[in-house]
Each structure stands twice: as C-alpha cells, then as structure tokens.
Amino acid sequence: MLLPTAHPPAVDGSGIRVAIVASEYNAIYVDGMLSAALDVLREAGATGETFRVPGAFEIPVVAAVLLREPNGRPDAVLCLGLIWQGETDHARQVAGAVTTALMGLQVETGVPCVHEVLTVTSEAQAQARCLDPQTNRGREAATTALRMVRLLRGRGVGF
C-alpha cells in the first residue's frame, strides 16, 4: 500500500537554485513528477532549471557536469526518471548504476543529489508515484532538495 507523501512544513527556498535532470523516456510519468517538483520550488521561492536527457541511464552524466561546474553550480540536483521492470535484468542494472553514480556524486561534491529515478512493475505504481497529487514523488523530491540545502547551509557545510 502506497502511503501519501508526507508534506512537511514549507521550506523557504529564497536564493536556492535547483537543477532538475529529467528523463524524456516514459515522459507522461516523468512530466508528472517534474510538474509537481517545479510547483514546490516555485511556491518556496526557489529557482529550478530543467535539463532533459533521453533516458534514466543518462541522468548521472548531466548531474556530474552540473555539479563540477566551477561557476554557477546549483545548490542541489533533482534527478527524475522512471524505469519499468520487465522480464530481463536490464531495469535492475540501470537502476543500480544510476543509484551508485548519484550517491557518489553527492558524497564527492557535498551537494544534494536527490534520487527519484523510480523502478516500477505496474501501471498503478507509476500512476500513484508520478501522477497522483497525494503521492507524487516529484513533490517529495523537491521538498527534500530544499530541506537538504537549508540543513547544509545552516551547518556551514559545503556552501
């Protein structure tokens, strides 16, 4: 059973720049998460710039380039994608590679790299996580990005 996304208190996003790297593949679902994420950033007063990539596997390379930018590096990177689990091992391999790469990037750079590259097995799972306003993971991911930036700035870490 999918529980509604927790809606913590609003975060002041003033002065926070979030780069969103979103897959074009499975666009109807990724666009649902992207729209929800942009709404959260806008409501918080943060800015979001979107970079579209062909598929989930391409997300880490764009995130890496953005995070290694000497000037204009974003305060956080939000990664959005959807992978269907099929009959082969391909989805697990892609999801694992993306997860490992994104974790490495955030640890290396000290910049939050929020992972919302979902692996689903059914249409119902995809709709609930990407299109339903109550359980949309894009909304949750944007809130996480803002909270992490505020946490790190408050501790004087990395910024």
Helix, strand or coil for residue 17?
A: strand
Q: How far is CA 130 from CA 1, 14, 63, 114, in A?
A: 15, 26, 21, 16
- The per-residue DSSP string of 95-114 comes to HHHHHHHHHHHHHHH-S-EE
In eight-state DSSP terms, residue 56 is G
Spot the catalytic one: 61, 90, 104, 158: 90
144 touches 137 (CB < 8 A) = no
Mark whether 115 is an active-site residue.
no
In eight-state DSSP terms, residue 79 is E
Q: Are strands 17-23 and 113-120 parallel, antiparallel or unpaired?
A: unpaired
- End-to-end, the C-alpha distance of the chain in Å comes to 39
Residue corresponding to tokens 């679902």:
29
Active-site positions read: 90
